[in-house]
Structures are given as C-alpha cells and as structure tokens.
Structure 1
Amino acid sequence: MRMTDIKSLTPGELRLYLESFHMPRYRADQIFRWIHVQLARNFDEMTNLPATLRTGLRESFAWNTLRMEDRQISALDGTQKFLFALPDGNFVESVFMRYRFGNSVCISSQVGCRMGCRFCASTLNGWERNLAASEMLEQIYEIRRITGEKISHVVVMGTGEPLDNYDNLVRFLRLLCCEEGMNLSQRSITVSTCGIVPRIRKLAREGLQITLALSLHAVTDERRREIMPVAETYTIEETMSALRFYYETTGRQVTFEYTLIRGVNDSVSDAEGLSALALSLRAHVNLIPVNPVKERGYVETGAEAVQAFKNRLEKSGVNVTIRREMGRDIDGACGQLRRRHILS
C-alpha cells in the first residue's frame, strides 16, 4: 500500500489526517511547521511531539527527501548548481543564484521533459516522470539547508514543463506561499511554460498572483514549429489569446522569454514582430542569447546584435531586458539543465 506523502499535504489536509490519531489540531500545526519552516530532515527531529506520535507518523506517511550528489560553483558569478538524487534513483538539477534584490532558486518540475524544444538540453534524454509537490519544495529547502541563506525568489524554469505537471505545480505553489509555511510572496514566483494553452487558461482561474513567462522564441508559426514542437499543437494566435485571458483575469503582466539564435530569430523583421506581440499584451520581454548545449548546433547572437535588437524593441515602446546569464560555465544557465544520472 502506497503511503501518503506528508510534505505534499496542506495544513487543512494534515489536520484531517491527524484526526485518525485522535490528536488535537495544534499537533498538526506543529508538524507542518517542523516540515516547512524549521526544515526538519525526519520525524525524529520533531522533539516536541510525543514518541508514540512520531512512531505513528513514520508508519503512516512517506517522507520524501533529496540527497545532494554534486555541487558546482561558478567561478564567474558564484552561482551554485546542485544535482539531487530522488528517492527512486532519478536525479534533478537546481540552481541557486545571488542577485542584488535577493537570492533566487531555479527548480525543476519533472524528471526530464517531453516538449522537445530544439535549443534546450532538458529534453535530450526524454521524460521519466513528474515531480511531487514535496520534491519541488525539497529542492528549495535542501538548498536553504546547505547554503544557510534565505530564498526570496523562486523560478520554475529548470528541467520539465511545469504546466505538464499541473496539479503538482499548483499544490507546490500553494504550499510555498501559505502563511503557516515558508510564506513566500506569490509575486516573487515565476513559472515558465512553452505554451500549453488549456493549462494557461486553467492557471488563470486559480486565483494566484505569480508571474507567468512564455517561452516564445519565434514570432511566426512556421519558425516556431522549427524550434518548438508545441507549436504544432497551438498557434501563436491561440497562445496569445490564452495569455490575454491570463492577463485580464489575474491582472499580472506576462513575460515573453525570447532566446536569440544567430540567423534564426534575430532579424529586424523578428524584432518588429516581437514588438507587435508584446505591445498587444503589454508584456515584458526578456532577451536571452542562446546558451551552448554540446548536442545542439545553435549559435548565440553577438553582443552588439543583441543590443541592437533590444534597442529596436525599446523604440517601439516595449519594456525589455537582457537576461544576465548566471552559472554558464557550470551548465547552470537557461536551457542548460538536463536529466542526468551523473555529471559529466
């Protein structure tokens, strides 16, 4: 019989479970705090609980933990990339980055990815499984334990397509932001998607205030299909309609992630097309020179051309930034995380 994953339970769900132990409400609140605030590594650390209760918890609940297999630190900017082993023997990568505004963690939402984006390393070895909400949380918690530093921002942009793991993603977001737990501001969370239209619309109705980032990367359906298989299912027009619904429903500005690839999507006409799409949604544009992936043949747009592309967008009235790539020398930058069993 499969045991219930205690770290994925909301405070209300945990209280209901504890009723079967005839325990008062405050015990459930203590356990939740031990897990999500004090970051206990096991039930034995919950020292203000009766020994009989701790024994009952061990016998009744699964306790998902991650084990750090490797840690790399960038010589360029101090970014840290972690390889975590999951309980079933699979592995995920996560990244810890320091910015002036605070510390940010980029987490994975799946083991592998089935979206097949041509420039991304995450999809190279296929998809294995979804991560539970607890396994997404534990990437953040374990990095906090290891570094001893506070996390102020979380981006779900690592391996996997978050909206392909929808139910676990939403549960993760609610747990991360609940007052009884880490209580991270929803506005400090960004979820990136390649554009699963029905899930974008569904997410809009969840009542969340997170930032949604679309991996756009091309301004015509023909070119987008060449680099992003999801475009075979959803056109740019359909995707923009879903994003407009998201913006109008949540009031949250959408971000376009646009990876610049030399000779593929960095022309003047590409800039004009991107400006039109961004202005139609009042979207922010984040330009990302494509990062090297040894199995891919794409080449990044040069620095001067990136700046010229940015200038064209700004002249059109678009709010645009060039992403500061962190951890590139340790394959920790955008598009470089992948499904691994060991680090090469």
Structure 2
Amino acid sequence: MEKAFSSFLLIVLLLLLYVMASSPMTKTNITTDQLALLYLKSQIISDPSHFLDESVSPAISVCHSVGVTCGSRHQRVKSLNLSNIALIGRIPRKFGNLSFLVSLDLGINNFHGNLPQEMTRLRWLKFLDLSVNNFRGKVPSWFGFLHHLQVLNLVNNSFTGSIPYSFFNMSTLETLNLNFNSIDGKIPKVIGSLINLRELRLRANQLTGSIPFTIFNISMIEVLAFTGNSLSGSLPNGLFNGLPILKGLYLSSNKLHGHMPTSLSNCSQLQVLSLSENEFDGPIHSEIGRLSNLQILYLGTNHFTGIIPQEIGNLVNLVELAMEDNKITGSVPISIFNISSLQVLSAW
C-alpha cells in the first residue's frame, strides 16, 4: 500500500514537472533529462540499494545523480551507468528524451518487457549495454537507425526473432554481442558490410543455415563466436585468407561439415580455434603448425581421420588440446611433449 501511494505521488509530481517543462517561459535543457530519469524511477519496482531513491529527485541537479556524467558544454546527460545494482522495472518511453546520450549501461539488472521505440531518438549513442536482463520481444529493427553506435551488447536476455537486415546501417559498429538469447533464422549476408566490426558474438541461439561468406571479408574482425546454434554447410578452403588479425574462432556445437580449411593457417594471430561437436572430416592438415599464437585447440567429436601431424609441436603457446571422439589413427606425436605450456591433452 505504501509503495503504491509513493508511486502515485511520483506520477503526480511528474505531471506537474512536465507542465512546467512545457512552458515557453521555462528553460528545458536540464529539466528534460531530469524528467526522463524521474520517469525511469517511476517504472522501477525494486531498488534494493536505493540508488535512484537517493539521487534522482526534482531537488537534485540531474548532473549530480548517481551514474550520470554530463557534457561540459550543454550540461546534458552524456553518460548513464546503472549497471549491476539489482534494479527491477521497465524502460519508459520518455527515456528517449535523453537526446545527448553517448553511453548507456544498464547491464546486470532485471529490466524486462520490450524496448521502447522512442530510444531511436538517442541518435548520438555510441555504447549500449543491456546485457543480463530480461528484455523480450524481437530484436528491434530500429537499432539500425543508431548510426553512431559502436558497441551493442544484448547478451543473456530473452530476445527472439531474426537478426534485422537494418543492422547493415550501423556502419560504425565494432562489437555486436547477441549471445544467449532465442534468436532464430539465418545470419543475414548484410552483416558483411559492417567493415569496422571487430567482434561478432552470436553464441547459444537458434540460428540456422550456412555462415555467410561475406563475414570473412571483414578484415578488422578479431572474434567470431557462433557456438551452440544449428549452423550448417562447409568452410571453403580459401575462406580465411582475408582475416589477418582474427584471434578467436568459436564454431563448436553446430552442424558444420567438410574439411578443415588450410587457409586457417593464414590467421597468424589466432589464439582460440574451437571446432568441436560438428561433422568435420578429412585430415588435420600440417599447416596448423603455423598458428604459433594458438592457446586453445578444440577439434573433438567430429570425423577427422588420419594421424596427428608432427607440426602440431610447433604450437609453443598451446595450453589446451582436445581431439577426442574422432577417427584419428596412430599415436600422439612426440613433438607435442615439447610444448611446455600444455596443461590439458585429450587425444582419444
């Protein structure tokens, strides 16, 4: 009863402030942002640490609120960080009025419901982290209108539907993390047009179809993580020729088949190669010994044949090597035991 009465008073206060802010005699720059945060506060049903209770108030300058950084020129909210404070609630439509926002971090809370389309007004946004919440509904296509976005982190939510084709509009995007959702359909080919992309993380979803070869033309890419989907198809031999700085390739637990591409040896910066639990076959090629920076090599539960090449001993930085459940013949090459960093070896 007390909580309901407090919410009622806050709503009445918000209406009064909105009327004041709408008056032509009132300066609205700071008030607009203050109202947006007050509307957010009105949608919070649990704030166990009382962060918003104590700092978001009509009596306190918005630039003095917890987690807020204002720009020096306009004194508008430039950054908002409310991560990891156990908030439960929804994002209100008025949140889109924080039109100078550059960085927004609401990660590790319990926000739920759909994201309001009014967030398209956050046109200067570069960093958006909504990870580890309970947002639902289809991945919003309006993300494609955030033309300055560099980091989009939606990991561990309840998003559904397919990856929107509008994502190709985010030409500045460097990190796209959709891990641990319920996203289905195919990976759109247009993602290959995101030439500034460094990390593409789509793990633990319900994606199907083949991996678009356009992705392997992104020369800036460092991490490709597709583990735990239902992706199929093969990886052509020359596929990795244009990925000179690739550091992590995570393709485990899919339905990929065919031979391991020899062009992988061109990825001289590769540190993690995870191909386990697929349907790869053919030999483990000797060119793999050229990946001198490799630390993790997972090839288990496939249909690889032949012997383990002696050149695998050239992987001087290897920490974990797993090749179990294949059709490999012969013994473990002695050269493996020269790898002083090796801690885990599972060959059969």
Question: TM-score under structure 2 normalisation?
Answer: 0.30
**Which structure has more strand as a fraction of its residues?**
2
| Max Rg structure | 2
* Larger helix share, 1 or 2: 1
Greater RCO (Cα-Cα under 8 Å, separation 6 or more): 1
